[in-house]
Structure 1
Amino acid sequence: MKPSILIVDDEETMLDLLTMILEQDFSITTENDGAKALQLLHQQTFDLCLLDIMMPWTDGLDLLKQLRSLGNGVPVIFISARGELEDRVEGLELGADDYITKPFEPTEVIARVKSVLRRTGKELDQQEIKQSGIHIHLLAREARINGEKLKLTPIEFELLATLIQHPKQAFSREQLLERIWDYSYMGEARTVDTHIKNLRLKLRKAGFQEEGIQTIWGFGYKWGV
Protein backbone atom coordinates (compact mmCIF):
# COMPACT_ATOMS: atom_id res chain seq x y z
CA MET A 1 0.00 0.00 0.00
CA LYS A 2 1.26 3.47 -0.91
CA PRO A 3 1.75 6.07 1.83
CA SER A 4 -1.25 8.41 2.01
CA ILE A 5 -0.86 12.16 1.57
CA LEU A 6 -3.44 14.89 2.14
CA ILE A 7 -2.77 18.03 0.07
CA VAL A 8 -4.49 21.19 1.30
CA ASP A 9 -4.44 24.29 -0.91
CA ASP A 10 -7.16 26.71 -2.00
CA GLU A 11 -5.77 26.90 -5.56
CA GLU A 12 -7.06 24.08 -7.75
CA THR A 13 -4.13 24.46 -10.16
CA MET A 14 -1.70 23.84 -7.29
CA LEU A 15 -3.67 20.79 -6.14
CA ASP A 16 -3.55 19.41 -9.68
CA LEU A 17 0.18 20.09 -9.99
CA LEU A 18 1.10 18.45 -6.69
CA THR A 19 -1.16 15.48 -7.45
CA MET A 20 0.56 15.00 -10.80
CA ILE A 21 4.00 15.15 -9.15
CA LEU A 22 3.22 12.69 -6.34
CA GLU A 23 0.51 10.29 -7.51
CA GLN A 24 2.94 7.75 -8.95
CA ASP A 25 4.40 6.91 -5.55
CA PHE A 26 1.68 8.02 -3.13
CA SER A 27 -2.06 7.79 -2.50
CA ILE A 28 -3.33 11.36 -2.82
CA THR A 29 -6.33 13.10 -1.27
CA THR A 30 -6.93 16.82 -1.90
CA GLU A 31 -8.90 19.50 -0.10
CA ASN A 32 -9.22 23.22 -0.93
CA ASP A 33 -10.72 24.33 2.39
CA GLY A 34 -8.79 24.44 5.67
CA ALA A 35 -11.79 23.78 7.91
CA LYS A 36 -12.87 20.77 5.84
CA ALA A 37 -9.27 19.52 5.84
CA LEU A 38 -9.20 19.69 9.63
CA GLN A 39 -12.40 17.65 9.80
CA LEU A 40 -10.95 15.13 7.34
CA LEU A 41 -7.80 14.78 9.45
CA HIS A 42 -10.01 13.92 12.44
CA GLN A 43 -11.82 11.25 10.45
CA GLN A 44 -8.94 9.65 8.55
CA THR A 45 -5.32 8.77 9.17
CA PHE A 46 -2.77 10.13 6.71
CA ASP A 47 0.97 9.50 6.57
CA LEU A 48 1.71 13.11 5.60
CA CYS A 49 -0.02 16.43 5.01
CA LEU A 50 1.15 19.04 2.48
CA LEU A 51 -0.31 22.30 3.71
CA ASP A 52 -0.58 25.75 2.16
CA ILE A 53 -0.39 28.66 4.58
CA MET A 54 -2.35 31.43 2.86
CA MET A 55 -5.94 30.14 2.66
CA PRO A 56 -9.24 31.89 3.45
CA TRP A 57 -11.10 31.29 6.74
CA THR A 58 -8.71 28.72 8.27
CA ASP A 59 -5.12 29.29 7.17
CA GLY A 60 -2.38 26.68 7.33
CA LEU A 61 -0.82 28.02 10.52
CA ASP A 62 -4.11 27.94 12.42
CA LEU A 63 -4.87 24.47 11.08
CA LEU A 64 -1.54 23.15 12.31
CA LYS A 65 -2.02 24.80 15.73
CA GLN A 66 -5.38 23.07 16.11
CA LEU A 67 -3.95 19.72 15.01
CA ARG A 68 -1.09 19.84 17.48
CA SER A 69 -3.30 21.08 20.34
CA LEU A 70 -5.50 18.02 19.79
CA GLY A 71 -2.51 15.69 19.83
CA ASN A 72 -2.61 14.91 16.11
CA GLY A 73 1.00 14.25 15.15
CA VAL A 74 0.58 13.79 11.39
CA PRO A 75 3.81 14.95 9.67
CA VAL A 76 3.23 18.32 7.97
CA ILE A 77 5.16 20.05 5.21
CA PHE A 78 4.19 23.65 4.54
CA ILE A 79 4.15 24.73 0.89
CA SER A 80 3.88 28.49 0.72
CA ALA A 81 4.74 31.57 -1.29
CA ARG A 82 5.80 33.16 1.99
CA GLY A 83 9.50 32.38 1.90
CA GLU A 84 11.02 34.84 4.37
CA LEU A 85 13.16 33.40 7.14
CA GLU A 86 10.70 34.42 9.86
CA ASP A 87 7.86 32.67 8.01
CA ARG A 88 9.81 29.43 7.75
CA VAL A 89 10.90 29.61 11.38
CA GLU A 90 7.34 30.26 12.54
CA GLY A 91 6.04 27.26 10.61
CA LEU A 92 8.73 24.94 11.94
CA GLU A 93 8.31 26.16 15.52
CA LEU A 94 4.59 25.41 15.35
CA GLY A 95 5.45 21.80 14.65
CA ALA A 96 5.84 21.50 10.89
CA ASP A 97 8.36 18.91 9.71
CA ASP A 98 9.58 20.88 6.68
CA TYR A 99 8.86 24.01 4.64
CA ILE A 100 8.88 24.35 0.84
CA THR A 101 8.73 27.76 -0.81
CA LYS A 102 6.75 28.37 -3.99
CA PRO A 103 7.71 28.22 -6.81
CA PHE A 104 9.40 24.84 -6.44
CA GLU A 105 10.91 22.09 -8.56
CA PRO A 106 8.97 18.80 -8.69
CA THR A 107 12.07 16.84 -7.70
CA GLU A 108 12.43 19.00 -4.57
CA VAL A 109 8.90 18.16 -3.47
CA ILE A 110 9.45 14.43 -4.00
CA ALA A 111 12.79 14.49 -2.17
CA ARG A 112 11.44 16.40 0.83
CA VAL A 113 8.32 14.25 1.09
CA LYS A 114 10.39 11.07 1.05
CA SER A 115 12.86 12.55 3.54
CA VAL A 116 10.07 13.33 6.05
CA LEU A 117 8.50 9.89 5.54
CA ARG A 118 11.88 8.26 6.23
CA ARG A 119 12.30 10.26 9.44
CA THR A 120 8.81 9.39 10.63
CA GLY A 121 8.97 5.72 9.69
CA LYS A 122 6.34 6.00 6.94
CA GLU A 123 8.41 5.05 3.92
CA LEU A 124 7.01 3.50 0.78
CA ASP A 125 5.31 0.29 1.83
CA GLN A 126 6.76 -1.80 -0.98
CA GLN A 127 9.24 -4.05 0.80
CA GLU A 128 10.52 -6.34 -1.93
CA ILE A 129 11.29 -5.98 -5.62
CA LYS A 130 11.99 -8.94 -7.86
CA GLN A 131 13.07 -8.33 -11.42
CA SER A 132 15.29 -10.09 -13.95
CA GLY A 133 16.89 -12.31 -11.33
CA ILE A 134 17.56 -9.45 -8.92
CA HIS A 135 15.82 -9.56 -5.53
CA ILE A 136 15.82 -6.36 -3.48
CA HIS A 137 14.55 -6.22 0.10
CA LEU A 138 14.09 -2.54 0.92
CA LEU A 139 13.67 -2.78 4.69
CA ALA A 140 16.67 -5.09 5.12
CA ARG A 141 18.57 -3.03 2.53
CA GLU A 142 19.77 -6.17 0.79
CA ALA A 143 20.09 -7.01 -2.89
CA ARG A 144 20.66 -10.54 -4.18
CA ILE A 145 21.30 -12.09 -7.57
CA ASN A 146 20.33 -15.75 -7.84
CA GLY A 147 20.32 -15.92 -4.06
CA GLU A 148 23.79 -14.45 -3.61
CA LYS A 149 23.98 -11.23 -1.62
CA LEU A 150 25.56 -8.25 -3.36
CA LYS A 151 28.11 -6.29 -1.36
CA LEU A 152 26.87 -2.80 -2.10
CA THR A 153 27.66 0.53 -0.50
CA PRO A 154 24.63 2.48 0.79
CA ILE A 155 24.79 4.78 -2.25
CA GLU A 156 25.01 1.84 -4.67
CA PHE A 157 22.02 0.18 -3.01
CA GLU A 158 19.94 3.37 -3.27
CA LEU A 159 20.88 3.78 -6.93
CA LEU A 160 19.94 0.20 -7.77
CA ALA A 161 16.66 0.35 -5.84
CA THR A 162 15.68 3.71 -7.34
CA LEU A 163 16.31 2.63 -10.92
CA ILE A 164 14.64 -0.78 -10.58
CA GLN A 165 11.56 0.70 -8.89
CA HIS A 166 11.04 2.94 -11.93
CA PRO A 167 11.86 0.76 -14.96
CA LYS A 168 12.22 2.62 -18.28
CA GLN A 169 12.09 6.00 -16.47
CA ALA A 170 15.05 8.22 -17.27
CA PHE A 171 16.72 10.02 -14.37
CA SER A 172 19.11 12.91 -14.89
CA ARG A 173 22.26 12.97 -12.80
CA GLU A 174 20.83 15.93 -10.89
CA GLN A 175 17.62 14.03 -10.09
CA LEU A 176 19.60 11.10 -8.74
CA LEU A 177 21.67 13.46 -6.61
CA GLU A 178 18.50 14.98 -5.15
CA ARG A 179 16.84 11.62 -4.49
CA ILE A 180 19.81 9.74 -3.06
CA TRP A 181 22.29 12.27 -1.73
CA ASP A 182 19.42 14.47 -0.44
CA TYR A 183 18.08 17.63 -2.06
CA SER A 184 20.66 19.87 -0.34
CA TYR A 185 23.69 17.99 -1.70
CA MET A 186 25.84 20.44 -3.65
CA GLY A 187 28.39 18.05 -5.11
CA GLU A 188 29.47 17.54 -8.71
CA ALA A 189 26.80 15.71 -10.73
CA ARG A 190 29.45 13.48 -12.32
CA THR A 191 29.86 11.85 -8.92
CA VAL A 192 26.88 9.74 -9.99
CA ASP A 193 28.89 8.28 -12.89
CA THR A 194 31.52 6.83 -10.57
CA HIS A 195 28.94 5.06 -8.42
CA ILE A 196 27.08 3.77 -11.48
CA LYS A 197 30.34 2.39 -12.88
CA ASN A 198 31.08 0.54 -9.62
CA LEU A 199 27.50 -0.75 -9.40
CA ARG A 200 27.60 -2.12 -12.95
CA LEU A 201 30.88 -3.89 -12.20
CA LYS A 202 29.42 -5.56 -9.12
CA LEU A 203 26.33 -6.66 -11.05
CA ARG A 204 28.50 -8.24 -13.77
CA LYS A 205 30.74 -9.98 -11.24
CA ALA A 206 27.64 -11.42 -9.58
CA GLY A 207 26.58 -12.95 -12.89
CA PHE A 208 24.05 -10.39 -14.11
CA GLN A 209 24.64 -10.43 -17.85
CA GLU A 210 21.88 -8.14 -19.07
CA GLU A 211 22.37 -4.41 -19.57
CA GLY A 212 20.21 -3.29 -16.70
CA ILE A 213 21.52 0.21 -16.13
CA GLN A 214 21.44 2.06 -19.43
CA THR A 215 23.21 5.33 -20.10
CA ILE A 216 21.30 8.19 -21.67
CA TRP A 217 24.11 10.23 -23.11
CA GLY A 218 24.20 13.84 -21.98
CA PHE A 219 21.42 13.24 -19.46
CA GLY A 220 21.65 10.34 -17.03
CA TYR A 221 20.51 6.75 -16.55
CA LYS A 222 17.54 4.38 -16.58
CA TRP A 223 16.81 0.73 -15.81
CA GLY A 224 16.16 -0.80 -19.19
CA VAL A 225 15.60 -4.52 -18.60
Structure 2
Amino acid sequence: MIVAADASADAKPAKAAPASVAAVGTAVGGLSPAEWTVRWWRWAHSFVDGARPYQDPDGSRCALGQDEDGPVWFLAGTDGRSQVRRRCRIPAGKHLLVPVINMYFHAPRIGEYAHRCDQVKAQVMVNNEALVSAVVVLDGKALPRPARLTSRCFDPFPDGDPDGDEEDRKHPGPYHAAADGYWLLLPPLTPGKHRLVIGANYGNDQDADFGRMIQNFEYELQIGESAI
Protein backbone atom coordinates (compact mmCIF):
# COMPACT_ATOMS: atom_id res chain seq x y z
CA MET A 1 0.00 0.00 0.00
CA ILE A 2 1.27 3.48 -0.83
CA VAL A 3 0.16 6.29 1.43
CA ALA A 4 0.85 9.91 0.64
CA ALA A 5 1.23 12.37 3.39
CA ASP A 6 1.31 15.76 2.88
CA ALA A 7 0.85 19.13 1.28
CA SER A 8 -0.06 21.84 -1.31
CA ALA A 9 -1.27 25.33 -0.67
CA ASP A 10 -2.49 28.18 -2.79
CA ALA A 11 -0.37 30.61 -0.80
CA LYS A 12 2.06 32.67 -2.87
CA PRO A 13 5.66 33.11 -1.71
CA ALA A 14 6.18 36.29 0.26
CA LYS A 15 8.95 38.73 -0.59
CA ALA A 16 10.48 38.76 2.87
CA ALA A 17 13.45 36.54 3.72
CA PRO A 18 12.59 33.36 5.59
CA ALA A 19 13.26 32.22 9.10
CA SER A 20 16.04 29.68 9.48
CA VAL A 21 15.37 26.01 8.73
CA ALA A 22 17.45 23.13 10.03
CA ALA A 23 19.84 22.04 7.30
CA VAL A 24 19.88 18.55 5.84
CA GLY A 25 22.25 16.50 7.98
CA THR A 26 21.69 18.62 11.08
CA ALA A 27 21.08 16.23 13.96
CA VAL A 28 18.39 16.97 16.52
CA GLY A 29 18.50 15.04 19.76
CA GLY A 30 21.26 12.87 18.31
CA LEU A 31 19.15 11.74 15.31
CA SER A 32 19.44 12.82 11.68
CA PRO A 33 16.43 14.45 9.98
CA ALA A 34 15.93 11.28 7.90
CA GLU A 35 15.75 9.19 11.07
CA TRP A 36 13.16 11.58 12.49
CA THR A 37 10.99 10.84 9.44
CA VAL A 38 11.08 7.15 10.41
CA ARG A 39 9.81 8.11 13.85
CA TRP A 40 7.16 10.33 12.25
CA TRP A 41 5.76 7.40 10.26
CA ARG A 42 5.77 5.17 13.30
CA TRP A 43 3.85 7.88 15.14
CA ALA A 44 1.34 8.05 12.29
CA HIS A 45 0.88 4.28 12.31
CA SER A 46 0.33 4.13 16.06
CA PHE A 47 -3.26 5.19 15.30
CA VAL A 48 -5.97 3.20 13.54
CA ASP A 49 -6.94 4.15 9.99
CA GLY A 50 -9.41 7.02 10.10
CA ALA A 51 -7.78 8.53 13.17
CA ARG A 52 -4.27 9.00 11.87
CA PRO A 53 -2.69 12.46 12.18
CA TYR A 54 -2.89 13.21 8.46
CA GLN A 55 -6.65 12.50 8.65
CA ASP A 56 -7.22 15.10 11.39
CA PRO A 57 -9.69 17.70 10.01
CA ASP A 58 -9.09 20.51 12.52
CA GLY A 59 -6.05 19.88 14.72
CA SER A 60 -8.02 18.56 17.69
CA ARG A 61 -5.77 15.46 17.74
CA CYS A 62 -2.54 17.42 17.38
CA ALA A 63 -1.14 16.41 20.80
CA LEU A 64 -2.02 12.72 20.67
CA GLY A 65 0.95 10.36 20.78
CA GLN A 66 3.55 13.12 20.95
CA ASP A 67 6.72 12.69 23.01
CA GLU A 68 6.28 15.48 25.54
CA ASP A 69 9.88 15.07 26.73
CA GLY A 70 11.50 14.79 23.30
CA PRO A 71 13.05 17.59 21.23
CA VAL A 72 10.76 17.23 18.18
CA TRP A 73 7.03 17.79 17.78
CA PHE A 74 5.34 16.17 14.78
CA LEU A 75 2.85 17.97 12.56
CA ALA A 76 0.92 16.23 9.79
CA GLY A 77 -0.17 17.07 6.30
CA THR A 78 -3.13 15.36 4.68
CA ASP A 79 -3.85 12.12 2.85
CA GLY A 80 -4.20 14.11 -0.37
CA ARG A 81 -7.99 14.04 -0.32
CA SER A 82 -8.77 17.28 1.51
CA GLN A 83 -7.72 20.85 2.19
CA VAL A 84 -7.50 21.47 5.93
CA ARG A 85 -6.91 24.19 8.47
CA ARG A 86 -5.78 23.09 11.91
CA ARG A 87 -5.09 24.68 15.24
CA CYS A 88 -2.39 23.24 17.45
CA ARG A 89 -0.84 24.16 20.81
CA ILE A 90 2.81 23.14 21.06
CA PRO A 91 5.12 23.28 24.08
CA ALA A 92 7.86 25.90 23.81
CA GLY A 93 11.31 24.73 22.79
CA LYS A 94 10.28 22.01 20.33
CA HIS A 95 11.65 21.57 16.83
CA LEU A 96 8.83 21.00 14.33
CA LEU A 97 8.91 18.21 11.75
CA VAL A 98 6.38 18.64 8.96
CA PRO A 99 5.91 16.53 5.81
CA VAL A 100 5.45 18.84 2.84
CA ILE A 101 4.79 16.13 0.27
CA ASN A 102 6.00 12.55 0.33
CA MET A 103 5.37 8.91 -0.45
CA TYR A 104 5.32 5.84 1.79
CA PHE A 105 5.21 2.12 1.04
CA HIS A 106 5.30 -1.01 3.14
CA ALA A 107 5.37 -4.67 2.16
CA PRO A 108 5.89 -8.10 3.76
CA ARG A 109 9.44 -9.14 4.50
CA ILE A 110 8.77 -12.82 3.75
CA GLY A 111 6.18 -14.89 1.89
CA GLU A 112 4.52 -14.74 -1.51
CA TYR A 113 4.35 -10.95 -1.67
CA ALA A 114 7.70 -10.27 -0.05
CA HIS A 115 9.73 -7.26 -1.18
CA ARG A 116 13.43 -6.66 -0.73
CA CYS A 117 14.48 -3.40 0.88
CA ASP A 118 15.62 -1.94 -2.46
CA GLN A 119 12.23 -2.78 -3.99
CA VAL A 120 10.42 -1.05 -1.15
CA LYS A 121 12.60 2.04 -1.59
CA ALA A 122 12.03 2.07 -5.35
CA GLN A 123 8.27 2.32 -4.81
CA VAL A 124 8.54 5.66 -3.00
CA MET A 125 11.08 7.46 -5.16
CA VAL A 126 9.49 8.09 -8.55
CA ASN A 127 7.02 10.86 -7.78
CA ASN A 128 9.62 12.83 -5.87
CA GLU A 129 11.63 13.10 -9.06
CA ALA A 130 8.57 14.88 -10.53
CA LEU A 131 8.00 17.56 -7.90
CA VAL A 132 6.29 20.56 -9.51
CA SER A 133 6.17 22.94 -6.57
CA ALA A 134 6.70 23.08 -2.82
CA VAL A 135 5.72 26.28 -1.05
CA VAL A 136 6.11 26.93 2.67
CA VAL A 137 5.05 30.23 4.21
CA LEU A 138 5.60 30.97 7.90
CA ASP A 139 4.04 34.12 9.33
CA GLY A 140 3.77 35.59 5.85
CA LYS A 141 7.40 34.89 4.93
CA ALA A 142 8.43 32.32 2.35
CA LEU A 143 10.84 29.67 3.60
CA PRO A 144 13.49 27.94 1.48
CA ARG A 145 12.54 24.89 -0.54
CA PRO A 146 12.07 21.98 1.88
CA ALA A 147 14.68 19.24 2.03
CA ARG A 148 14.22 15.92 0.30
CA LEU A 149 14.76 13.12 2.82
CA THR A 150 14.94 9.43 2.02
CA SER A 151 14.46 7.01 4.90
CA ARG A 152 16.16 3.71 5.53
CA CYS A 153 14.04 0.57 5.42
CA PHE A 154 12.24 0.31 8.73
CA ASP A 155 9.51 -1.56 10.54
CA PRO A 156 6.47 0.76 10.32
CA PHE A 157 4.95 -0.69 13.45
CA PRO A 158 7.09 0.22 16.45
CA ASP A 159 7.42 -3.17 18.16
CA GLY A 160 10.34 -4.40 16.08
CA ASP A 161 12.82 -3.09 13.55
CA PRO A 162 15.30 -5.38 11.80
CA ASP A 163 17.36 -2.34 10.78
CA GLY A 164 17.11 -0.65 14.14
CA ASP A 165 19.06 -1.07 17.37
CA GLU A 166 20.07 -4.39 18.93
CA GLU A 167 16.86 -4.78 20.92
CA ASP A 168 14.71 -4.13 17.82
CA ARG A 169 16.58 -6.75 15.80
CA LYS A 170 15.60 -9.41 18.32
CA HIS A 171 11.94 -8.92 17.39
CA PRO A 172 11.68 -8.14 13.66
CA GLY A 173 8.17 -7.38 12.43
CA PRO A 174 6.50 -8.96 9.40
CA TYR A 175 6.68 -5.75 7.33
CA HIS A 176 9.27 -3.26 6.30
CA ALA A 177 8.69 0.19 4.86
CA ALA A 178 10.38 3.21 3.33
CA ALA A 179 9.49 6.85 2.79
CA ASP A 180 10.83 9.49 0.44
CA GLY A 181 9.81 13.09 0.07
CA TYR A 182 10.12 16.70 1.08
CA TRP A 183 10.14 17.66 4.73
CA LEU A 184 10.41 20.78 6.84
CA LEU A 185 12.44 20.67 10.05
CA LEU A 186 12.03 23.96 11.87
CA PRO A 187 14.01 25.07 14.91
CA PRO A 188 11.89 26.05 17.93
CA LEU A 189 9.59 28.98 17.19
CA THR A 190 9.27 31.91 19.54
CA PRO A 191 6.41 31.66 22.06
CA GLY A 192 3.14 33.05 20.79
CA LYS A 193 1.00 32.65 17.71
CA HIS A 194 2.28 31.58 14.30
CA ARG A 195 0.70 30.65 10.97
CA LEU A 196 2.21 27.95 8.78
CA VAL A 197 0.90 27.42 5.23
CA ILE A 198 2.18 24.56 3.10
CA GLY A 199 1.52 23.52 -0.47
CA ALA A 200 3.09 21.17 -2.99
CA ASN A 201 2.23 18.94 -5.92
CA TYR A 202 3.66 16.23 -8.13
CA GLY A 203 3.52 16.06 -11.93
CA ASN A 204 3.98 12.41 -12.82
CA ASP A 205 1.43 11.10 -15.32
CA GLN A 206 2.85 7.59 -15.06
CA ASP A 207 1.38 7.07 -11.57
CA ALA A 208 -2.40 7.14 -11.81
CA ASP A 209 -2.83 7.02 -8.02
CA PHE A 210 -0.46 9.64 -6.65
CA GLY A 211 1.45 11.12 -9.59
CA ARG A 212 -0.75 14.22 -9.63
CA MET A 213 -1.17 14.48 -5.89
CA ILE A 214 -1.87 17.97 -4.54
CA GLN A 215 -1.46 18.85 -0.88
CA ASN A 216 -2.96 21.89 0.78
CA PHE A 217 -3.01 22.60 4.52
CA GLU A 218 -2.27 25.23 7.11
CA TYR A 219 -1.75 25.48 10.84
CA GLU A 220 -2.50 28.13 13.39
CA LEU A 221 0.12 27.42 16.03
CA GLN A 222 0.22 28.50 19.63
CA ILE A 223 3.73 28.01 20.97
CA GLY A 224 3.74 27.80 24.75
CA GLU A 225 0.94 29.09 26.90
CA SER A 226 -1.31 31.91 25.71
CA ALA A 227 -0.74 35.34 27.19
CA ILE A 228 -3.28 36.27 29.86
Does TM, scored on the shorter chain, surpass 0.5?
no
Larger RCO (CA under 8 A, 6+ residues apart): 2
Which structure is larger by alpha-carbon Rg, 1 or 2? 1
Using the size of structure 2 for normalisation, the TM-score is: 0.22
- TM-score for the superposition, normalised by structure 1: 0.22
More strand by share: 2
